[in-house]
Amino acid sequence: MNTSEILSHVDHTLLKAFATWEDIQKLCEEAMEYHTASVCVPPSYIK
């Protein structure tokens, strides 16, 4: 299994209480770049 295959099964997570919108945006951009399985963020950032 190569790195891309492994990352496709990994969640990219940012659950710190004081995350900013910029932190969340960066997290999502990284997830798209690395093709992770999902992104986990605090519920307060879900619209």
pTM: 0.81
For CA atoms 25, 37, 11, 44, the dihedral sign is positive
For 32-46, write each residue's pLDDT tens digit: 999 999 999 998 888
Residue 11 pairs in a beta bridge with 38
How confident is the model at residue 38, as a pLDDT?
96
Domain positions in the chain are 3-45
For 16-32, write each residue's pLDDT tens digit: 989 999 999 999 999 99
